[in-house]
Amino acid sequence: MPYRALDRLLTASPDPARVGWLHDWTYAHRGLHSDGVPENSLAAFAGAIAAGYGIECDIQRSRDGEAMLLHDWELERLTGVSGPLAAHDAQDLAQIAFLDSEHRIARLADLLELVAGQVPVLIEIKSRAGYDVKRSCRAVARALEGYRGAAAVMSFDPRVPKWFAKHAPKPVRGLVIKETDDGPTPRRWQRHLALWHAQPEFVAYDIRALPNPLSTSLRARGFPLPSWTVDTPEKARHAALHADAPIAEGEGFA
């Protein structure tokens, strides 16, 4: 039986003409990274393009308001530099190399110039409690101005798709959901509230939680359901059954 609460949470199903392309790809999680090719580096994204994969990337915001390609709030894990990314301007960040690598931190604008519409791009905007995520939304929207390729924005923070719906509606908008205690929506009511607030056009769901009544009903209503992180052959097979597009890394590429 369909998950009836969706009729109250979501006002309408997405337009297939807007979201249909999401189904057609496997997405390289943080690019096609490996030893010597850092995650979220332009080299990793170039590798994904060459292999025929779509791209998933992460966005942090520099001190001067630029959308930067990095997952972590702190620089140390990936670069060895101590302190938060947000303490540096974009120009300074562009001089910071990844550990044991010649590759440097890049901007979203650099990635979009590299991709130039060859493959689709899923852009995850990072957020946390007390963070002014609207500034990050504006930075991403500026980078996407005039971009002609397939692109989508998404976040665990429901304010992100809501902001884009109101202020920059061209990109497809998604909500990221996980059900574990280390995320913002471990309880059913929190997932309901996030969906109601975000009004997304797709939902990127943690592969570990699939299938479930909510994900099954979302797919039945026409909401694409990409799933992350698909990093084993078993998860790839599971995603093929219960999701619409794998966001993969490592051994998860089918």
pLDDT in tens, 93-144: 999 999 999 999 999 999 999 999 999 999 999 999 999 999 999 999 999 9
CA distance 178 to 208: 8
CA 147 to chain centre: 17
pLDDT for residue 3: 61
Residues 6+ apart with CB under 8 A from 88: 62, 63, 75, 96
pLDDT band at residue 77 under the 50/70/90 scheme: very high
Residue 197 located in a structural domain: yes
Confidence check: pLDDT of 204 > 90? yes
Residues 6+ apart with CB under 8 A from 113: none
In a shared domain, residues 126 and 206:
yes
In a shared domain, residues 128 and 21:
yes
pLDDT for residue 103: 97
In a shared domain, residues 239 and 138:
yes
Confidence check: pLDDT of 159 > 80? yes
What is the residue type of 118?
Q
Residue 254 located in a structural domain: no
Q: What are phi and psi of 142, to 5 degrees?
A: -65, -45
In a shared domain, residues 75 and 130:
no
In a shared domain, residues 40 and 19:
no
CA distance 11 to 8: 7
Token readout for 20 is: 């249909």
In a shared domain, residues 126 and 219:
yes
What would the mean pLDDT of 77-105 be, rounded to a whole number? 97
Confidence check: pLDDT of 65 > 70? yes
In a shared domain, residues 101 and 152:
no
pLDDT band at residue 7 under the 50/70/90 scheme: confident
Q: To the nearest whole number, what is the mean pLDDT of the chain? A: 96
Domain C-terminal end among 117, 143, 164: 117
In a shared domain, residues 11 and 125:
yes
pLDDT for residue 9: 83
pLDDT in tens, 217-241: 999 999 999 999 999 999 999 999 9
In a shared domain, residues 90 and 132:
no
pLDDT in tens, 166-199: 999 999 999 999 999 999 999 999 999 999 999 9
CATH number, position 61: 3.20.20.190
What's the CA dihedral at 87, 92, 97, 98 to 10 degrees?
30
Confidence check: pLDDT of 1 > 50? no
Residue 182 located in a structural domain: yes
Instruction: Find the radius of gyration of the CA atoms of the chain.
Output: 17
Domain C-terminal end among 94, 117, 140: 117
What is the domain range of residue 71?
A: 29-48+56-117
Residue 245 located in a structural domain: yes
Report how many domains make up the chain. 2
